[in-house]
Amino acid sequence: MSQNGHIETGTARVKRGLAEMLKGGVIMDVVTAEHAEIAQEAGAVAVMALERVPADIRAQGGVARMSDPKLIKSIMAAVSIPVMAKCRIGHFAEAQILEALGIDYIDESEVLTPADEEHHVDKWQFKVPFVCGARDLGEALRRISEGAAMIRTKGEAGTGDVVEAVRHMRAVSKGIRRLQSLRQDELPSAAKELGASLELVRETAELGRLPVVNFSAGGLATPADAALMMQLGCDGNFVGSGIFKSGDPLRRAKAIVAATTYYDKPEILAEVSEDLGEPMVGIGVSSLQRQELLASRGI
């Protein structure tokens, strides 16, 4: 029978490949092993292991850092689905620690307090894949050139207000449609404007989408929010505070999973939206001060 060659790990293809497997699914923030089990039971495709959900980080203030490895390990032990964890923007030592823990994906996240205001982590140096936030096409392409294998819209985490997630998803899509309308000889100037390499800009224009998977995040709280983001063209959803800050997390989590798959079937959306109990209370983004906005970190 067959003789097998050497396995090459940590390639761009397998980093992006895991994100391809998550498409059409929901990634849920969890702060305990018990939450992680509920998320898995509800049908989450992955969990994000955190010490505090964004709503609590927002409420409690202070410096938000990588979670305790002990907590992350307990969550990795509790579930069989992929486990992600966050490091601070530019904090490559936190990223090294997360890689050493054997985490499946690192989120270099604006939800934590940035460690570097100028540089992001050089993600090509890692075997573990990274997901990064973006508000528009330029940010997304800059993160991909730094080695991000997956993108998510930033939205405004911990608010339960979907308005910023919508704004950012529309901005990314609009940016891509604009690239597609340009002549070949206009792409170099577009690349300059976006702060991204010409190669990446050409690839995006040709594909008509980002060259990596693009999820939505930041403020989703209901099945309808999940369906809205899917109809706006994202590949899947991150839900943070929206699940475990609600009245009935298991029921809500199941409903959001179903809404992400059946995003264009209003009858199913109506059925799963029924009787979910209290949603998270939420904060209107327009009531936040400029310095309270997380999305403007790490652009």
Partner 1 sequence: MLALQGDVREHLRLLRECGAEALPVRLPEELEGLDGLVIPGGESTTMDRLMRAFGLLPALELALGRGLACLTTCAGTILAAREIRDGLPDQLHLGLLDIAVRRNAFGRQLQSGEVDLEIPELGPEPVPVALIRAPSIDEVGPEVEVLARYQGLPAAVRQGRHLGLTFHPEITGDPRLHRLFLSRL
Q: How far is the CB of 51 from partner 1 (least distance, A)?
A: 21
**Tokens 């029921």 sit on residue:** 251
Q: How far is the CB of 211 from partner 1 (least distance, A)?
A: 13
Is residue 149 within 8 A of residue 15, CB to CB? The reply is: yes
Is residue 260 within 8 A of residue 237, CB to CB? The reply is: yes
Q: Which residues lie below 8 Å from residue 46, measured CB to CB, with a gap of 6+?
A: 22, 25, 27, 28, 81, 82, 83, 84, 104, 105
Q: Would you say 24 or 282 has its CB closer to partner 1?
A: 24
Please indicate whether residue 86 is annotated as part of the active site: yes
Residue 91 C-alpha from the chain's centroid: 18
Nearest of 201, 238, 234 to residue 220 by alpha carbon = 238
H or E stretch including 134?
A: strand 130-134
Q: Would you say 13 or 119 has its CB closer to partner 1?
A: 13
- The residues binding partner 1 (CB under 8 A) are 1-11, 13-14, 17-18, 20-25, 40-46, 80-82, 99, 102-105, 127-129, 254, 257-258, 260-262, 265, 268
Q: How far is the CB of 293 from partner 1 (least distance, A)?
A: 32
**Tokens 């939420």 sit on residue:** 282
Neighbours of 258 (CB within 10 A): 22
The one catalytic residue in 15, 23, 73, 86 is 86
Q: How far is the CB of 110 from partner 1 (least distance, A)?
A: 23
Q: Would you say 44 or 295 has its CB closer to partner 1?
A: 44
Compute the distance between CA of residue 297 and CA of residue 128 in angstroms, rounded to an integer.
23
Q: Would you say 33 or 81 has its CB closer to partner 1?
A: 81
Is residue 137 within 8 A of residue 299, CB to CB? The reply is: no
Q: How far is the CB of 80 from partner 1 (least distance, A)?
A: 6
Q: Would you say 105 or 164 has its CB closer to partner 1?
A: 105
Q: How far is CA 299 from CA 29, 107, 109, 213, in A?
A: 23, 15, 11, 19
Is residue 84 within 8 A of residue 44, CB to CB? The reply is: no
Q: How far is the CB of 69 from partner 1 (least distance, A)?
A: 15
Q: Would you say 198 or 268 has its CB closer to partner 1?
A: 268
Compute the distance between CA of residue 214 and CA of residue 131 in angstroms, rounded to an integer.
9
Compute the distance between CA of residue 219 and CA of residue 157 in angstroms, rounded to an integer.
5
Compute the distance between CA of residue 151 and CA of residue 22 in angstroms, rounded to an integer.
12
* Residues acting as catalytic residues: 86
